[in-house]
Chain A
Amino acid sequence: MGEVIVVTSGKGGVGKTTTTANLGAGLASLGSRVCLIDADIGLRNLDVVMGLENRIVYDLVDVTSGNCHFRKALIKDKRFENLFLLPAAQTKDKTAVSPEQMKTLCEEIKDEFDYVIVDCPAGIEQGFRNAIAGANQAVVVTTPEVSAVRDADRIIGLLEKEDLREPKLVINRMRFQMVKHGDMMSIDDIIEILAVDLLGVVPEDELVVVSTNRGEMVVMNNASRSGQAYRNIVRRIKGEEVPMMDLEENSGLFNRLRRMIGLK
C-alpha cells in the first residue's frame, strides 16, 4: 500500500505543478509505481507540463461521480511505463468534488501504487480541502519571497489542523548569488521562520522553463542543477540520507581557477 503525498503552497505560481511532475518522474525513474492526481479542477495544468495533454479522455470528476473506473481514466506517461496521471476536469469547478470523494479515491488508488502525489490548487478553499483529504503526507513549496513564505506558514498551520503533521518544505527558485549579497532570504532564514523540516532546495534555473516548454521534466536532464536538486529530493522521499547540494554558483572566475588547481 502506497503513500499519498499532497504538494501544496497556498500562494500560486511558486512551482507546485512543476514540483509534482518532477517528483513523479523522479520516483518513477527509480522504479516506483507512481500516480499523479491533478486536483486543480477548472485550471488543469499538470497534463500540459508533462506533455500528456493530447491523451486525455476521462478526468477526475468522471471518476468521482462514478462515470468510469479510475483505471480507465489514468493516462500512462510517454517515458515511464510506471508513471500515471489522473487529469483534472477543465469544464467543472471545485465544488464538483467533495473531500469525502477524494478520500475514497485516494484509498482505492494507493492500493495499486507506491506513491500517489496530489497537485493541490492555490488557495485555502474547497480545492485545498479536496486535495489534502486523502493525503497522509504533505510537501509545502515556497519561494524566498515574503508573500510565498507567509502563505506557506498559513498552509502549514492548516495542514497541522487537519492532522497532516510535520509537512516537509521545498524552497524553489533559490538564487544563491542574491543571498550572498544580502538581497534574498537564505535557506536558514526561511527554515527559522517556518520551523519545519527541509526536504530540498531547487535553484532558479532557466532549464525548467525550457523543459516545460517541451512537456518534459527537468529531473530527467542530468546536466541541470535544478534536475539534480529534484533527484536529491526524490531520494530523500524514498528514505535515503542525501546531503544538501553545494549551493554556491560555480560560475565565478575565481571559483573556476580554484577548481582547476584542485582546491575545490
Chain B
Amino acid sequence: MLDFINRIFGRENHSSRNVAKERLRLVLVHDRAGVSPELLQALKAELIQVISNYMEIDEQALEVSLDSSENQVALVANIPVKRMKRRFQTESA
C-alpha cells in the first residue's frame, strides 16, 4: 500500500524523463572534463597556489581527478603534505 502511494506521489521523480536527465547530468560532468584536460590542469595549478599559502606540498605527486559513484560525481584531490607553515599568509595579511 505504502509502495502504491509512493508510486503515485513519487512518480514524477522516477519518470523515465527524470531518470534520463539525471543520467545525462552525471555523464556530462565526465565528458566535459575529458574534452578539456586544460580545465583540470588549470584547477591543479590554482590549487597548488592556494594551498602553498598554508603548507608545503609535494607538487609532483599531486593528483586531481573526478570520481563518480552511483549518483554523484566528486572531485578527488590527493595532495601529499611535506610540512605545515608556522605562519600562514592570506591576502588580507
Binding site for B on A (CB under 8 A): 145-146, 149-150, 153-154, 157-158, 161, 179, 181-186, 189, 193
Q: How far is the CB of A169 from chain B (nearest CB, A)?
A: 14
Q: Which candidate, B26-34, B44-52, B59-67, is the interface stretch facing chain A?
A: B26-34
- Chain A contacts of B35 at CB under 8 A? 154, 157-158, 161
> Is A193 a contact of B31 with CB atoms below 8 Å?
no
A185 contacts which of B11, B20, B27, B32 (Cβ < 8 Å)? B20
- Chain A contacts of B89 at CB under 8 A? none
Q: How far is the CB of B11 from chain A (nearest CB, A)?
A: 7
Cβ of B23 under 8 Å from chain A: yes
> Is A182 a contact of B18 with CB atoms below 8 Å?
yes
- Helix, strand, loop or mixed for chain A's interface? helix
22 contacts between A and B (CB under 8 A): A145-B20, A146-B20, A146-B23, A146-B24, A146-B27, A150-B24, A153-B31, A154-B31, A157-B32, A157-B36, A158-B35, A179-B17, A181-B15, A182-B15, A182-B18, A183-B15, A183-B16, A183-B17, A184-B17, A185-B21, A189-B20, A193-B28
| Bound CA span A154–B25, Å | 13
| Bound CA span A189–B28, Å | 14
| Bound CA span A181–B80, Å | 51
> Is B32 a contact of A189 with CB atoms below 8 Å?
no
Category for how many chain B residues contact A: 10 to 19
- Helix, strand, loop or mixed for chain B's interface? helix
| Bound CA span A210–B11, Å | 37
Cβ of B56 under 8 Å from chain A: no
A149 contacts which of B17, B18, B24 (Cβ < 8 Å)? B24
| Bound CA span A66–B44, Å | 49
Closest 5 A/B residue pairs (Cβ): A182-B15, A157-B35, A182-B17, A189-B21, A146-B20
Cβ of B58 under 8 Å from chain A: no
Q: How far is the CB of A246 from chain B (nearest CB, A)?
A: 21
- Chain B contacts of A184 at CB under 8 A? 16-17, 20
> Is A189 a contact of B31 with CB atoms below 8 Å?
no
| Bound CA span A190–B45, Å | 33
> Is B17 a contact of A153 with CB atoms below 8 Å?
no
